[in-house]
Structures are given as C-alpha cells and as structure tokens.
Amino acid sequence: MQAPDATTTPATLDYEQPLNERMRTFLRLEFLFQQLKFHQQHADAWSTRASVASLLEILAITARGDMRTDVLKELERHMAVIHEYHAKPGADADRVHAIVGNLARLRTELNAAAVAFTQKLRDSEFLNAIKHRSAIPGGTCEFDLPDYSHWLSLPFEVRSVALTEWMATVGPLCESVVQLLWLTRQNTRPRREVATGGVFQLNLDKQVPCQLLRITLSAGNDLYPEISGSHHRCTVRFLAWKDTNVRPAQTDQDVPFLLTTCT
C-alpha cells in the first residue's frame, strides 16, 4: 500500500501487490527512499536516526545483485516504449518529450555513477558500526555507540552535510526507481470491478505479463484487500477492520473497487 500524504486526507487509498521479484525490490526501495527524504528534512536527532536507518536498509537492498544495471535496462525499455507511443496519432508531444527528457537525465546520472557507487558508504566505519549494532534491540543507544550519540548531538547543519552526501550517493538509483514505478502505475487505465461476497478471482494474460496489481478503494471505509497468488492468477479477499485487538475477518458483502493491472 502506498503511504498516504500526512498533510491531506485522501479520497481513495491504493493497495499494491508486486508480481515479480524486481517489482518487490523497486517498491521497497521507493518506500525507504520516501522515508529517508521525509526524515532528512527534520532537524531533531530522532529524525536523523530514522534517516540513517532508512539509508542502511537501502544499502542492504542494493547489495543484492546488480541493481544499477537492472534499473538502467528498465530506463531504456521505458524510453523505447514511450518513443513508440510518440508516433501514435493524438499523442501529447510536449508531455512525451518531458518524460523522455527526464528518463534520459536519470539514465545519464546513473551511468555517471560507478558500478560500485555505494562502496564508499559500505566501507564507512561509522555507518558499519551503526549497521552492526542495529541488529541488536536498542543496540544504537548512547552507551553502545557513543560516537553516534555525539554526532547526533551536533547542530543539524553539521549532520545535514553528511545526510546530503549520503543521499546524493543513492539518489540517482532511487530517483530512477521512483520514476519507473510512476510509469508502471500510469501505463494501464483502472477498471471497475466488484468482489462478490468479498472475494475476487483474477486470471492474468500470460502473453502480457503483469508486474503490479493496484486495488483502489474509497477512503474512510473499514475494508482492505488481502492479495495472494502469482503472475498467472490472483485472489483478492476483502477484510473488515475492527481494531488492533480484533482479528480481521473477510466481509460477506459485495465490494466495488478499481483494479489496475500494470504491465
């Protein structure tokens, strides 16, 4: 599920289910990068702690395989698709040009980053000490990491220099992932569906692999979807929320919703 904007009350809520490993990784990176950017703006030490925690999780994810190459390939693929779309009658040339230009910029920035662009952060003794102690509940408190506590006590302007540098390191990759996910979400129009008795079965086209399912519900109701299955067939069950002390149960009501199958 995408995190709602804390400053506004959304009219709808989107729940997302990735259908392949790459999409799962992209969604996790987007989630962590949003957290990092949010907390990086706040001057208190607790927010800085949250920023560092998000950064360390981003580094853990990007250590698996060659994320940079995967993202570059996806940028190229989307640019080719958009170029084909540009040739169709009625295409908004200015909008297409803006999207292609942004993808080209991201590709250039990511190409400019070395293959081991995160290695400097991985070699940081300061960050590594925090990473290792983070595996222990409460392991980053003052007596465990006095140097970390000292750094957190410094003025925000000082801490911000390091945070900005670290964000600049992971930024080209994460910003590219955010843009790729935006394009994936936009490439298919939602359609209205009804889950009869709170259950909806979906068979997916094997010739056009679906990467991401999106379920859109009106905000303010007490229902949320639980999605299971694979890239061939999925089941959506709508559960009724009570409170944190009551286990949710499947509703027996018919549930209207919007379904988007993102390819």
- Dump pLDDT digits (tens) for 42-72: 999 999 999 999 999 999 999 887 899 999 9
51 and 149 share a domain? Answer: yes
29 part of a folded domain: yes
pLDDT of residue 115: 79
63 and 180 share a domain? Answer: yes
Q: Which of 123, 157, 186 is the last residue of a domain?
A: 186
Q: Is the per-residue pLDDT at 227 higher than 60? A: yes
CB atoms within 10 A of CB 153: 11
pLDDT of residue 90: 66
Q: Which of 168, 186, 204 is the last residue of a domain?
A: 186
100 part of a folded domain: yes
In angstroms, the CA 59 to CA 39 distance is: 17
Stretch 194-220: mean pLDDT: 92
> What rounded mean pLDDT belongs to the chain?
91
Q: Which of 129, 164, 186 is the last residue of a domain?
A: 186
CB atoms within 10 A of CB 240: 16
10 part of a folded domain: no
252 part of a folded domain: yes
Closest-CA residue to 223 (of 203, 200, 204)? 200
- Under the banding of pLDDT at 50, 70 and 90, the label for residue 209 is confident
CATH number of the domain where residue 204 is located: 2.60.440.10
12 part of a folded domain: no
State whether residue 251 is helix, strand or coil: coil
In angstroms, the CA 60 to CA 14 distance is: 27
Tens of pLDDT, residues 10-47:
789 999 999 999 999 999 999 999 999 999 999 999 99
Q: Is the per-residue pLDDT at 125 higher than 70? A: yes
How much is the pTM?
A: 0.90
pLDDT of residue 232: 85
164 and 208 share a domain? Answer: no
182 and 207 share a domain? Answer: no
Total domains present in the chain: 2
153 part of a folded domain: yes
Domain span at residue 127 reads: 21-186
62 part of a folded domain: yes
